[in-house]
Amino acid sequence: MNIDLSSKRVIVTGASRGIGKAIAGAFANEGARVAICARTAAAVEETGAELAKSAQAVIARAVDVTDTEGVRQFVDEIAAEWGGVDVLVNNAGQGKGGNLDTLTPEAILEHANILQMGHFRFIQAVVPYMRKQHWGRIIEINALAGTIPTPDGIPSVINRASCIALAKSLGMSLAKENILVNTLNMGWIDTGQWDRHYQEMGPGCTREEFDAMVMKVVPVGRYGKPEDVAGMALFLASDYASFISAASIDIAGGMGGQIAYYPTLKRDFEASIRARSTSPAPSGVAA
């Protein structure tokens, strides 16, 4: 299968690191023109310089996804420079934990403005250009927790669910204009955050024990890699995916309903580590 994306004009949001950077790099390696944005100018410019080694052309800008006018200006700049936009990968966003006892409505709305409305702003800005050419591909990067609610992390659960619903709705309403919209829902993709999660466990826990606990809910038995996501994004942007729209695809190593069990699994694991760390040493064994 030869996926030719060399003529495509691609926007990837949240592309200075992690999944977004991997996706932008994959399009660059295919010779596409790649425009990237992120919040921090230095980081996005550094990534842009890396992409320039393989991409046909690169535009890298610092953009705040909560700034409607700033988003429009960024998209308009790309369309003016390259004559249009073919592909949008809506990756920008962040996870947010919390439950009924710890959250405020304002905290949930703040997260929604970044995630739900950030995705909506970019779609609304690119669709007029895609309509003019009667061709477009929009790929939403979401999370499995948006399809299968978990008993914690309310902001991520409800705001990801909204983004997935948006992708499905637009995947139906825009399809007749040859603008196809699909969502990729991430499981445990390792972009460095699992190192942080392990460090938060505190003393008394080995990395092997921690990974074994996490993998209990992942049938494939490993963390996903950003490259696992990038390959599917390339496929959905290609002509091979011309009959796929409003699809919700989980990139989660077979994990489904198991994700709802994970918070309980983690709490029980943490409790066992604390109990082991505080229990007295057996008689005759040095503490």
pLDDT at 285 over 70: no
Output the domain CATH number for residue 238.
3.40.50.720
| pLDDT, tens digit, 9 for 90 and up, residues 132-177 | 999 999 999 999 999 998 888 999 999 999 999 999 999 999 999 9
H or E element in which residue 160 lies: helix 154-173
DSSP state at residue 175:
G
Report yes or no on 34 lying in a domain.
yes
Q: How many domains are contained in the chain?
A: 1
DSSP string, 101-155: TT--HHHHHHHHHHTHHHHHHHHHHHHHHHHHHT-EEEEEEEEGGGTS--SS-HH
pLDDT digits (tens, 9 = 90+) for 39-56: 999 999 999 999 999 999
pLDDT-based confidence at 276, cuts 50/70/90?
confident
Position 284 scores a pLDDT of 56
Tell me which residue of 17, 264, 12, 249 sits closest to 144, measured CA to CA. 249
pLDDT value at position 203?
Answer: 87
Exposed, middle or buried by CB within 10 Å (0-12, 13-18, 19+), for 38?
Answer: buried
| Average of per-residue pLDDT values in the chain | 94
Residue 239 in any domain: the answer is yes
Residue 188 located in a structural domain: yes
Q: Is the pLDDT at 287 greater than 50, yes or no?
A: no
Q: Are 14 and 93 in contact (CB under 8 A)?
A: yes
**pTM of this structure:** 0.94
Phi, psi angles (nearest 5°) of residue 70: -65, -40
Is 277 inside a domain boundary?
no
pLDDT of residue 282: 57
- Express each pLDDT in 88-112 by its tens digit: 999 998 888 899 999 999 999 999 9
pLDDT at 280 over 70: no
Give the model's pLDDT for residue 168: 98
- 210 located within any domain: no
CA 206, CA 92: separation in Å to the nearest integer? 32
In a domain? residue 219? no
Q: State residue 278's pLDDT score.
A: 76
**Domain presence at residue 131:** yes
Whole-number percent of the chain with pLDDT over 90: 87
On whether residue 270 sits in a domain, the answer given is no
Rounded to whole angstroms, the Cα distance separating 7 from 197 reads 40
Condensed to tens digits (0 to 9), the pLDDT of residues 218-238 reads 999 999 999 999 999 999 999
Identify the pLDDT of residue 120: 98
pLDDT tens-digit series, residues 52-88:
999 999 999 999 999 999 999 999 999 999 999 999 9
pLDDT at site 151: 87
Structural domain of 13: 9-193+225-256
* 14, burial (CB in 10 Å: exposed 0-12, middle 13-18, buried 19+): buried
Per-residue confidence (pLDDT) for residue 3, from 0 to 100: 86
What value does the mean pLDDT take over residues 117-131?
Answer: 98
